[in-house]
Chain A
Amino acid sequence: MATDPIHQFQIKKLIPIEIGGVDFSFTNSALFMVITVVGASAFLILSARGRGLVPGRWQSAAEVTYEFIAKTLRDSAGSDGMRFFPFVFSLFMFILFANLIGMFPYFFTVTSHMIITAVMAAMVIGTVIVYGFRRHGLHFLKLFVPSGLPAVLLPFVTFIEVLSFISRPISLSIRLFANMLAGHITLKVFAGFVATLGSLGFVGILGAILPLAATVALTALEFLVAALQAYVFAILTCLYLNDALHPGH
Chain B
Amino acid sequence: MALRLSADFVAGIVVGGAIGWGFDALLGTSPWGLIVFFLLGFAAGILSVMRTAGMIAKRPELDDDPASRRFD
Question: Measured between C-beta atoms, what is the minimum distance from A218 to chain B in Å?
Answer: 15
CA distance A171 to B8 in the complex (A): 5
Residue A164, interface by CB 8 Å? yes
Which residue of A146, A164, A175, A239 contacts B44 across the interface (Cβ within 8 Å)? A164
- Whether A161 contacts B47 by the Cβ 8 Å rule is yes
8 A Cβ contacts from A34-86 to B: 75-78, 81
Residue B14, interface by CB 8 Å? yes
Among A78, A146, A159, A164: residue with most chain B CB under 10 A:
A164
Residue A242, interface by CB 8 Å? yes
8 A Cβ contacts from A196-249 to B: 232, 235-236, 239, 242, 246, 249
- Whether A170 contacts B4 by the Cβ 8 Å rule is no
CA distance A161 to B46 in the complex (A): 11
Contacts of B55 in A (CB 8 A): 235-236, 239
Number of interface residues of A (CB under 8 A): 29
Question: Measured between C-beta atoms, what is the minimum distance from B58 to chain A in Å?
Answer: 11
Task: Name which residue of chain A comes closest to B37, CB basis.
Answer: A163
- Whether B19 contacts A163 by the Cβ 8 Å rule is yes
- For the A-B complex, the count of residue pairs with Cβ-Cβ distances under 8 Å equals 79
Q: Return the CB mask of A158-182 against B: 1 if under 8 Å, else 0.
A: 0111011011101110110011001
Question: Measured between C-beta atoms, what is the minimum distance from B6 to chain A in Å?
Answer: 9
- Whether B41 contacts A75 by the Cβ 8 Å rule is no
Contacts of B14 in A (CB 8 A): 167, 170
CA distance A162 to B45 in the complex (A): 11
Residue B7, interface by CB 8 Å? yes
Question: Measured between C-beta atoms, what is the minimum distance from B3 to chain A in Å?
Answer: 6
Contacts of B72 in A (CB 8 A): 146
7 contacts between A and B (CB under 8 A): A161-B44, A164-B12, A167-B44, A172-B7, A236-B55, A239-B55, A246-B66
Report B's interface with A, CB cutoff 8 A.
3-4, 7-8, 10-12, 14-16, 19, 40-41, 43-45, 47-48, 51-52, 55-56, 59, 62, 66-67, 69-70, 72
Given A77-B66, A163-B12, A172-B7, 12 other A-B residues pairs in contact with their CB atoms under 8 A = A160-B43, A161-B44, A161-B47, A163-B16, A164-B47, A167-B12, A167-B41, A167-B44, A168-B48, A171-B7, A171-B10, A175-B7
Report A's interface with B, CB cutoff 8 A.
75-78, 81, 146, 159-161, 163-164, 166-168, 170-172, 174-175, 178-179, 182, 232, 235-236, 239, 242, 246, 249
